[in-house]
Structure 1
Amino acid sequence: MSLPLNEQTVLVTGAGRGLGAAIAAAFAREGASVAVNYRNSGKAAENLASCLGGKASAFGADVRDGEAVAQMVANVKVRLGAPTTIVHNALADFSFNGDARSKLDALTWDEIAAHMETGVKGALNLIQAAAPSMRERGFGRIVLIGTNLFQNPVVPYHDYTAAKAALLSLTRTAAAELGPFGITVNMVSGGLLRTTDASSATPEAVFDLIAGSTPLRRVTTPEEMADAVLFFASPWSRAVTGQNLIVDGGLVFN
């Protein structure tokens, strides 16, 4: 079974700004109903939902809180319909600034745990809340946002990268368990994006280095990565699950 994008209800976490906002806008462009989730960026999320039209609404919830996520999914069902697609993009507070990162001799477990809570626990909360209605329908699409850094740690962000690697494992195990119910689980992994709030502190020299190292000779944009996310929700990917698609202009060959 597959559904065209314009018949889907898509919940995007961390969608008030940056990559999440680009993903929400991409789905809205294709006619989907879009739930714009936010934790702190309430005003930005409301403004985005208003700009996306009548088939979009903003929903506040901290993905680390299982009860809040369950209530959010219930609210989305009432307002827009049960989510057919979940895109987990939410990111713990973080800045991609290699000069300011915690190195191994100073790294704390709390820093790693913060990313695990948002990335991995958040994904688990979302899957547990949304999967029952997906099973009933015999259709579901779950897309998790990863990183190319666990294949090419050009800057060793230990905390962020470890959590994303764990999320890739969950992607594959969830795909194995949910596949018989018509639910696919995939990951889209970007590199450095030009530009999001998280990458705004990245030195320009790093952007130049990345651009010069890719076959396309440029840095990927949030909009380009968002289009790749659409693939995993579309009928074109109906036979694809448990996969990790690298979207970084060819910096990493997968």
Structure 2
Amino acid sequence: MSEATGRVALVTGASSGIGAATARLLAARGMRVVVNYLHSAQAAEEVVAHIEAAGGQAMAIQADVREPTAVDAMIERVGAAWSGIDVLVHNALTPYAIKPFQEMAWAELGGKLNDEIRAAFVVTKAVLPAMTDQGWGRLIYLGTGLSRQPRAGMIALGTAKAALTQFARYLAQELGPAGITVNVVEPGPVAETKMSHGLDAEQTQRQVAATPLGRLARPADVAQVVAFYAGEDNVFMTGTTAAVNGGMAMY
């Protein structure tokens, strides 16, 4: 029996890609998993079915993580069925514009910044009471290598995720005495995700050529790092950022 058995993990944006891979892996390691989604009910239920077929426990819950009432209702439902959230994996990706700064309106840049931090703020506020009460918790936020390594047209996402990373560092400092670790996972380009579908074959090949390990990350590669941060073995890492990019960028 896994030592993680009984822990409850909330994975936001878990109906596909990195979120789905993370939900499946955490369940395989003995956690009960909340598969949060916004629009893709069928895909989220498929993740739950996969977990249950493998002997795990999961439930799918729709909630816009930018909205406090929706998030509070989700946490209340989880609490009634299981208990408070022990592990938060905040993976949900809000929409953003892909364009040069000179073509961008403030609503596009400022709106993405607001959505990114609002979602992190709302969902973190909701899960912290249970974590602080028990003196144990894991907060993991999904960032992006674009917050360090700019790429054309990605200023909105890169700037917003850089803000998220700093937000996480401040939480790590504040919540450490309460037994809560806070870390960020920053993937480079990841195959089999919505973002990767926007790249043509030539762009993908350039990214592969720039990666010492010779391929793009897969969702499961990122999930492995998230799962380490989420687990009992991570007793002394907080305020850190893990780059999962196959050596494409080294820092």
TM-score (norm 1): 0.92
- The one-letter amino acid paired with 2:4 is L
- The one-letter amino acid paired with 1:76 is V
- The separation in 2 between residues aligned to 1:152 and 1:131, in whole angstroms, is 32
The CA deviation at 1:156 is: 4.2
Which residue matches 1:32?
Answer: 31
Where has structure 1 moved over 6 Å in runs of 4 or more? none
The CA deviation at 1:198 is: 2.4
Which residue matches 1:68?
Answer: 70
Match 1:57 to one of 59, 67, 74:
59
Task: Tell me how large the CA RMSD over aligned residues is.
Answer: 1.6
Task: Give SS of 2:229's match.
Answer: helix
- The separation in 1 between residues aligned to 2:78 and 2:114, in whole angstroms, is 23
- The one-letter amino acid paired with 1:230 is A
Task: Give SS of 2:138's match.
Answer: strand
Aligned residues: 247
Q: Would the aligned equivalents of 1:190 and 1:248 in 2 still touch at CA under 8 Å?
A: yes
Which residue matches 1:98?
Answer: none
Task: After superposition, give the CA deviation of every residue in 1:103-128 in whole Å (9 maximum; x if it has no partner).
Answer: 11111222223433442111111111
More deviation, 213-222/48-57: 48-57
State percent identity of aligned pairs. Answer: 34
> Which ranges of structure 1 fall in alignment gaps of 5 or more residues?
96-100
Which residue matches 2:242?
Answer: 245
The CA deviation at 1:47 is: 2.0
The reply to whether residue 81 of structure 1 matches residue 80 of structure 2 is no
Q: Would the aligned equivalents of 1:10 and 1:85 in 2 still touch at CA under 8 Å?
A: yes
Task: After superposition, give the CA deviation of every residue in 1:120-173 in whole Å (9 maximum; x if it has no partner).
Answer: 111111111110110010000000000111221134401111110000110000
Change (3 A) 1:94 1:47: farther
Task: Give SS of 2:121's match.
Answer: helix
TM-score (norm 2): 0.93
- The separation in 1 between residues aligned to 2:216 and 2:150, in whole angstroms, is 16
Which residue matches 1:132?
Answer: 129
Task: Give SS of 1:26's match.
Answer: helix
Q: Would the aligned equivalents of 1:145 and 1:187 in 2 still touch at CA under 8 Å?
A: yes
Change (3 A) 1:78 1:202: same
Map 1:111-190 → 2, pairs under 5 A: 111-190=108-187
Which residue matches 2:5?
Answer: 6
> Which ranges of structure 2 fall in alignment gaps of 5 or more residues?
none
